[in-house]
C-alpha cells in the first residue's frame, strides 16, 4: 500500500513542529545518528524496523519549507509525515481532538488581482492534497494510537479535512473569524490553523513526494490560545505524537 508511494530504500521523514513531540521519537530511535545541516539537527535511524529521518520543522512556512528541502535533497526522504499542534477553527473541532489534513491552503497567500486569491502563483493551484494512502495510514494510526485516551473528560475526536497555514499565530476571535470567513467565501472550509503544513505540502508537491500530516488541537485560536498552548504541548501533544507515530511506523513496516 504505502511502499508504492515511497521509492524503496528511501527513508520516511518524520517532521515534528515542537521539540517536546520529537523527544519521544528520538528516545525510541535504533542506531540513531545525529547530523547537523542547514543550521538544523537531523536524526537518522530506524523506528519499528522502518528507516526514518527525524527533524524539527522550525516555525513558519519558510523555515518548514527549508527543512523539507533539506530532508529531500540531503537525506533522500521518500515521503514526509508531519506532527504538530494547531488551533481548531471548525465548529466541532475541540482542544484535545486531532485533525488529519486532507488538503492544505495558505490563508495569507494573496497575489490578487494578478492571481486568484489563495492561489500559489505559477502553479495554478490553491490547495495541495495529502497523499491518499499515507493519509489513510495516518488516520488508522490515530484511531489505534489514541484508543483509551481522554482529554478533559472527553474522548479525542479524529477529524479529517482542510488545514490552513500562515505566518501568524492566530489568537483572537475577530482574527479567526476574518481568516475563516474569507476562506469560506472562496469555497474553503478550514478545520484548523497552523504555521507550516501548506508549505511542506507545496514542497512535496514540487518533488512528487507523498505527504500527510496530523495536528493535535492545542487551542481554539482565540484570546486564550497562547495560555493553553505550553501545557497542552507538554502534557498532551507529545503523548499523542508518540503514540500515533509508533502506530504508523509499525503499520508501514508491515507493508514495506
| Interacting residues with ligand SAH (CB under 6 A) | 17-18, 59, 84-87, 169-171, 193-196, 218-219, 221, 225
Burial label, 89 (beta-carbon count in 10 A; 0-12, 13-18, 19+): buried
Q: Which conformational region is residue 118 in: left (phi greater than 0), alpha (psi within -120 to 50 degrees), or beta?
A: left
In the set 20, 21, 131, 228, the catalytic residue is 21
Cβ(84)–Cβ(67) under 8 Å?
no
- The residues, any chain, with a CB within 8 Å of residue 206's CB and separated by 6 or more, are none
CB of 122 to ligand SAH, least distance (A): 25
Active-site residue 41, yes or no?
no
Residue 236 CB, nearest distance to ligand SAH (Å)? 12
CA atoms within 13 A of residue 216's CA, in its CB half-sphere = 31
> What residue is closest to ligand SAH based on CB?
87
Least CB distance to ligand SAH at residue 230 (A): 6
C-alpha distances in Å from residue 8, one per residue of 102, 134, 163: 24, 15, 29
21 among known catalytic residues: yes
Please identify which of the residues 20, 97, 196, 219 carries the catalytic annotation: 219
- Please, what's the b/e burial string for 155-186 (b: 16 or more CB within 10 A of its CB; e: otherwise)? ebebbbbbbbbbeebbbeeebbeebbeebeee
In this structure, what C-alpha cell is assigned to residue 76?
Answer: 533522500
- How far is Cα 142 from Cα 146, in angstroms, rounded to an integer? 6
Rounded least distance, CB 168 to ligand SAH, Å? 6
Between 38 and 223, CB nearer to ligand SAH: 223
CB of 31 closer than 8 Å to CB of 45: yes
CB 136, min distance to ligand SAH, A:
23
CB nearer to ligand SAH: give 45 or 84.
84
Q: Name the residue nearer to ligand SAH (CB basis): 139 or 192.
A: 192
Task: State which residue, 86 or 133, has the beta carbon closest to ligand SAH.
Answer: 86
Between 115 and 169, name the residue whose CB sits nearer to ligand SAH: 169
Task: Indicate which residues carry an active-site annotation.
Answer: 21, 219
Amino acid at each position: 500500500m504505502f511502499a508504492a508511494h515511497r521509492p524503496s530504500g528511501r527513508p520516511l521523514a518524520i517532521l515534528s513542529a515542537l521539540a517536546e513531540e520529537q523527544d519521544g521519537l528520538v528516545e525510541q530511535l535504533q542506531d540513531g545518528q545525529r547530523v547537523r545541516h542547514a543550521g538544523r539537527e537531523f536524526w537518522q535511524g530506524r523506528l519499528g524496523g522502518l528507516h526514518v529521518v527525524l527533524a524539527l520543522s522550525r516555525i513558519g512556512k519558510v523555515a518548514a519549507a527549508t527543512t523539507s528541502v533539506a530532508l529531500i535533497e540531503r537525506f533522500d526522504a521518500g515521503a514526509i509525515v508531519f506532527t504538530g499542534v494547531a488551533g481548531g477553527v471548525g465548529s466541532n473541532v475541540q482542544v484535545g481532538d486531532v485533525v488529519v489534513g486532507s488538503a492544505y491552503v495558505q490563508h495569507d497567500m494573496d497575489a490578487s488581482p494578478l492571481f486568484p486569491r489563495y492561489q500559489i502563483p505559477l502553479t495554478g493551484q490553491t490547495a495541495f492534497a495529502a497523499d491518499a494512502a499515507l493519509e489513510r495510514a495516518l488516520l488508522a494510526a490515530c484511531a489505534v494510537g489514541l484508543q483509551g485516551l481522554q482529554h478533559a473528560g472527553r474522548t479525542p475526536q479524529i477529524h479529517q479535512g482542510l488545514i490552513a497555514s500562515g505566518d501568524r499565530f492566530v489568537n483572537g476571535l475577530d482574527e479567526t473569524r476574518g481568516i475563516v470567513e474569507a476562506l469560506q467565501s472562496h469555497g474553503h472550509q478550514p478545520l484548523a490553523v497552523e504555521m507550516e503544513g501548506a508549505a511542506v505540502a507545496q514542497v512535496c508537491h514540487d518533488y512528487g513526494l507523498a505527504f500527510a500530516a496530523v495536528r493535535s488541537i492545542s487551542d481554539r485560536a482565540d484570546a486564550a490560545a497562547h495560555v493553553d498552548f505550553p501545557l497542552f504541548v507538554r502534557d498532551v501533544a507529545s503523548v499523542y505524537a508518540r503514540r500515533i507515530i509508533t502506530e504508523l511506523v509499525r503499520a508501514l513496516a508491515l507493508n514495506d
